[in-house]
Amino acid sequence: YILHEGPRIVTHHIPTTLITVANPLLFYGVSTKITPQNENLAVELRLAAGALIAVVARVYPKAMTSQWGYLLPDHAVTVQRPFSPTLFTALLYDPLPSVRLMACLAVHCLLEDSRGYLSQADDNQAVIASYTPLSTQLGCMIHEMYTGLNQVIAKEQDVPTLTMALKVFGILTVNTPHFKLSVSQHPLSLLATLQPLLQPTQDRNVVGAAISVVAAAAAVPKQMPGLQEFLCNNQGQILLGNLNTLLAQNTHCTVSAE
């Protein structure tokens, strides 16, 4: 019913309807108190809301761009109880790994094939005003998403969620207009701390996703500022040494093209 009206697919009503239904449900139990009696319902609602956002974002990506301001943070990403929760609120603070994973998947679906849309971003600082230009809002979103993902990757203990967060970081990195924005410090900071995730004893999926982050950084159009210098310094050489060690192992890691 949300996606179809008779034989004709209605796309212009989908985002508004989706946000109206899914956004409050996704944070039910994160920003509000729940009782044991409705705890199971709260979990089911959050999972369903995250899945709905992910599906519609993948099927109707252009229709969903108008809703990024409701779903992705443009300020205060690490605040646990923000006035306007986003997918990152659930990704950072939901107590259940399954819900955090679903929120992460939804972010991944939103960022797929987003290079053209994100290319509008600029580095102007947002100011308190009645109107914020889209380019400024997108620039703030990119900064906040990098900050949130760095925190998720640093603290997440659930392997599937950590794996998906690394994939999201990779897809954000390759779609970010680094030649326009001063955000390269975020992926370079993560590359400098990836060594523990590139060990042969790590979960194979985590290792593969971590390698994908390195590949995404190398695949940035017009080259990521500071990447060559990073690879030549001590931290970069350690990272390359870890990759060489992995190649020498008998264990084969599957590296996703995502």
Report which of 59, 28, 60, 30 is spatially closest to residue 41, judged by C-alpha positions.
28
Report pLDDT for 251. Answer: 53
What is the rounded distance in angstroms from the CA atom of residue 54 to the CA atom of residue 91? 14
183-226: pLDDT as tens digits: 888 888 898 888 889 888 889 999 999 999 999 998 887 778 88
The DSSP code for 5 is E
Contact 161, 100 (CB under 8 A): yes
Report which of 193, 185, 146, 181 is spatially closest to residue 165, judged by C-alpha positions.
146
Alpha helices in the chain (DSSP H): 14-26, 39-59, 61-64, 68-71, 87-93, 97-111, 115-118, 134-155, 159-175, 185-192, 204-218, 227-232, 234-248
Q: Residue written as tokens 């009645």?
A: 130
Report pLDDT for 36. Answer: 57
Question: Would you write out the chain's pLDDT as a tens digit for each of its 258 residues?
Answer: 333 333 334 444 555 566 555 665 566 445 455 555 566 667 888 888 888 889 888 888 888 888 898 899 988 888 877 677 889 999 999 889 999 999 999 999 999 999 999 999 887 775 555 677 888 889 999 999 999 999 999 999 999 999 999 999 999 999 999 888 888 888 888 988 888 898 888 899 999 999 999 999 988 877 788 888 988 899 889 888 888 888 777 555 554 444
189: tokens are 């900071």
Please give the helix or strand (H or E) that residue 9 lies within, else none: strand 8-9
What is the rounded distance in angstroms from the CA atom of residue 63 to the CA atom of residue 202? 39
What is the rounded distance in angstroms from the CA atom of residue 23 to the CA atom of residue 112? 20
What is the rounded distance in angstroms from the CA atom of residue 202 to the CA atom of residue 45? 33
CA distance readout (Å), 86 to 22, 23, 76, 141, 195: 11, 8, 10, 11, 30
Report pLDDT for 5. Answer: 38
Report pLDDT for 199. Answer: 85
Report pLDDT for 256. Answer: 45
CA angle 252, 197, 191 (to 5 degrees): 115
The 3-class SS string of 150-208 reads HHHHHHCCCHHHHHHHHHHHHHHHHHCCCCCCCCCHHHHHHHHCCHHHHCCCCCHHHHH
Report pLDDT for 141. Answer: 92
Contact 106, 86 (CB under 8 A): no
